[in-house]
Amino acid sequence: MRIKKGDQVLIIKGKDKKKKGKVARTFPKTDKILLEGLNLKKTHKRPRKEGEKGQVVEIAAPLRVASVMFVCPKCGQAARLGYVVKGESKNRVCKKCGVEV
C-alpha cells in the first residue's frame, strides 16, 4: 500500500466524495485506511448503566484505499505515486511534479 499514516488524501468514491482528509490509520492487510472525521457511520450506543440513555454516535469507519487518491503536499494535486530506488531506500514520488514525498 502506497498511502501512509499522516498523508493527505482525496476521497473519490462514496458519500464523502471530493472531500479531503488526513489518514489516521492504515490497515495494510485489508487495504483499508481510516480518515480523521470522515466516512462517518452512525452507530447506536446501548445504555451501559441504569438511567443512562442509548444514543446515536457517529464514528469514522475505515474505507478502501481504492476509494481515495493521494494528495501531494508539494504541488497540492491529487496524484498517483511512484517509487524511486536510491541505494538501499525506496522513496515515493509524486507522478505529477516528480518530487519525493
Stretch that binds Zn ion, among 1-9, 34-42, 45-53, 90-98 (CB under 5 A): 90-98
* Shorter beta-carbon distance to Zn ion: residue 41 or 95: 95
Strand, coil or helix: 31: coil
Identify the residue among 25, 54, 97, 100 touching Zn ion (CB under 5 A). 97
In the bound complex, what is the minimum distance in angstroms from residue 27's beta carbon to Zn ion? 25
Residue 26 backbone phi and psi in degrees, to 5: -120, 150
Sites for Zn ion among residues 30-49 (CB under 5 A): none
* Shorter beta-carbon distance to Zn ion: residue 17 or 80: 80
Task: Mention every residue, 6+ apart, whose C-beta is less than 8 A from residue 62.
Answer: 25, 27, 30, 32, 33, 34, 39
- For residues 100 and 86, what is the distance between their CA atoms, to the nearest angstrom? 11
Is 75 a residue that touches Zn ion (CB under 5 A)? yes
Is 74 a residue that touches Zn ion (CB under 5 A)? yes
> Among all chains, which residue has been given the C-alpha cell 514525498?
101
* Shorter beta-carbon distance to Zn ion: residue 20 or 74: 74
Is 96 a residue that touches Zn ion (CB under 5 A)? yes
